[in-house]
Amino acid sequence: MVVDGFFIAGTVVCLISTLICVGAAVIRQPPNDVTILTVAAVELFLLVYAVAGIVRQVGGETVTGELWEFWGYLLTALLVPVGAFWWAILERSRWSNLVLGAVGLTIFVMLYRMEQIWDGAVPA
């Protein structure tokens, strides 16, 4: 798999978000501005990734794997942080921070798969 800047940036954003949210759950804090904003940062990254994907395709770069699969992953990934946000708002317990923390892990796995689809790499 070719590792590009988007994958590295996404990994960093997801890792920071997961560490902060899980850390808040460990110290028994309910969701707060910091944990919710880290998930918002993951969502912002995904929006930038989507725009970059459109620009890359319009510029002539092709997706090596299935095009529908790449965009399906991306659209689903865009919904995950929104769902976790609503969960955290509706259930203001420390367990909601674990749901927010799961966003980073989930998006990281989806981002890894999207990079495999884009580059055409065979899963290891």
Q: What pLDDT does residue 95 have?
A: 87
- 3 has pLDDT over 80: no
Q: How many CB atoms lie within 10 A of CB 66?
A: 10
Q: How many CB atoms lie within 10 A of CB 70?
A: 20
Token reading at 98: 């674990």
Query: pTM here?
Result: 0.88
Please, which pLDDT band fits residue 122 given cuts at 50, 70 and 90? low
Q: What is the DSSP string of 48-88?
A: HHHHHHHHHHHTT---SS-HHHHHHHHHHHHHHHHHHHHHH
- pLDDT, tens digit (0-9, with 9 covering 90-100), for 79-116: 999 999 999 899 888 889 999 999 999 999 999 999 98
- pLDDT, tens digit (0-9, with 9 covering 90-100), for 31-59: 999 999 999 999 999 999 999 999 988 99
Please, which pLDDT band fits residue 1 given cuts at 50, 70 and 90? low
- 75 has pLDDT over 70: yes
Q: What's the DSSP call for residue 27? A: T
The residue type found at 19 is L
